Amino acid sequence: MKQSVKLVAGNWKMNGLGESLAEAETLAKALKEQAAACRVALCPPATLIARMAQTLKGGVVEIGGQDCHAKASGAYTGSVSAGMVRDAGAGLVILGHSERRAGFGETDADVAAKVEAALAAGLEPIICIGETLQEREAGQAVEVVSRQVAGSLPVSLAGKAFAVAYEPVWAIGTGLTPTLEQIEEVHAAVRAAMIARLGEGGRAAPILYGGSVKPSNAAEILAVAEVGGALVGGASLKAEDFLGIIRAV
Ligand code: PEP
């Protein structure tokens, strides 16, 4: 099947102050000079979006947010709307990351509402799904991600630019990764669930893999059928590691 160009996105999470900001800026500047065979995006904390947009101006590296509110404006103290993320300089936004699902109680319905807000603001959502270790051990990985796709992807996504990121919760930040066969099995199931939900509109969007991607495993993971890119956490804060992953595409 013809797939869209691969997307490698770095999720800086709540990092980017002091030494980690200096390292992140070194990475951003190096990326600007680096030719890549894929789309590359950096997703800094909201406070750094405008700064990174300035640093990366004129290059091909894209900027993403890590979350947005489902409402366009109003009395939501502490929140940032999709329009604000866009206005700060982002073109993409990560939604439904497992750290938000677990730490902030975000449900599939919450994620779907945020996706609608992102689309209305002209942002390309990267919608995260993935099973916990307990679900994996119970043999429920495919069932869980299929349910998350059905619940987190609004039908309005059909025909729009977006990505889904399969991130097994137990692989995030742990150094553990599923086998290549397990990745292939889940990505195939995610694609089937996307088509069931969006019809033909669910065929083209890339399905990223996320969870302990590093230079040494990136090439083999990115070569798996239906892996349309990577969502990278820890390794996206170190210039050498993130550049190594991009070179592996
Ligand atoms: C993530 O948090 O999206 C992630 C993939 O983290 P890591 O690469 O550090 O496992």
Angstrom distances, CA of residue 70 to CA of 27, 95, 106, 136: 31, 11, 11, 30
Q: Is 73 annotated as a binding residue?
A: no
Q: Which of 97, 99, 124, 135 is catalytic?
A: 97
Provide the residue type at 8 as one letter.
V
Within a domain: 174: yes
Within a domain: 133: yes
Q: Domain with 22 in it: what CATH number? A: 3.20.20.70
Q: Is the pLDDT of residue 137 over 70?
A: yes
Judge contact between 9 and 232, C-beta under 8 A: yes
> Quick one: DSSP state of residue 69?
B
Within a domain: 246: no
pLDDT at residue 205 in the model: 97
Residue to mutate, 126, 172, 214, 216, ligand 1, most ligand atoms under 8 Å from C-beta: 172
Residue to mutate, 7, 11, 227, ligand 1, most ligand atoms under 8 Å from C-beta: 11
pLDDT at residue 188 in the model: 98
Task: Provide mean pLDDT across the span 23-52.
Answer: 91
Mapped onto helix, strand or coil, the DSSP state of residue 208 is strand
Within a domain: 172: yes
Kindly give the distance from the C-alpha atom of residue 174 to the centroid of ligand 1, in angstroms, as a whole number.
9
Q: Is the pLDDT of residue 12 over 70?
A: yes
Kindly give the distance from the C-alpha atom of residue 74 to the centroid of ligand 1, in angstroms, as a whole number.
32
Residue to mutate, 97, 164, 217, 232, ligand 1, most ligand atoms under 8 Å from C-beta: 232
Is 173 touching ligand 1 by the criterion CB < 6 Å? Answer: yes
Domain range for 124: 7-68+78-178+185-212+222-229
Mean pLDDT of the chain: 95
Within a domain: 237: no
Is residue 179 exposed (0-12), middle (13-18) or buried (19+ Cβ within 10 Å)? exposed
Q: Is the pLDDT of residue 95 over 90?
A: yes
Within a domain: 239: no
CA-proximal residue: ligand 1, atom 3 (nearest): 233
Strands (E), the chain: 7-11, 39-43, 62-65, 92-95, 124-129, 163-166, 207-210, 229-232
Q: Is the pLDDT of residue 139 over 50?
A: yes
Interface ipTM: 0.98
Task: Provide mean pLDDT across the span 169-188.
Answer: 98
Within a domain: 234: no
Q: Is the pLDDT of residue 140 over 90?
A: yes
What is the per-residue pLDDT across 53-84, written as a single tens digit (0 to 9) for each?
999 999 899 999 999 999 999 999 999 999 99
Atom of ligand 1 nearest to the CA of 230: 5
What is the per-residue pLDDT across 110-136, written as a single tens digit (0 to 9) for each?
999 999 999 999 999 999 999 999 999
CA-proximal residue: ligand 1, atom 1 (nearest): 233
Angstrom distances, CA of residue 18 to CA of 15, 47, 126: 9, 14, 28
pLDDT at residue 100 in the model: 97
Within a domain: 235: no
Is 149 touching ligand 1 by the criterion CB < 6 Å? Answer: no
Q: What percent of the chain has pLDDT over 70?
A: 98
pLDDT at residue 65 in the model: 98
Residue 167 designated active-site: yes
Confidence class of residue 1 from pLDDT cuts 50, 70 and 90? Answer: very low
Q: How many domains does the chain have?
A: 1
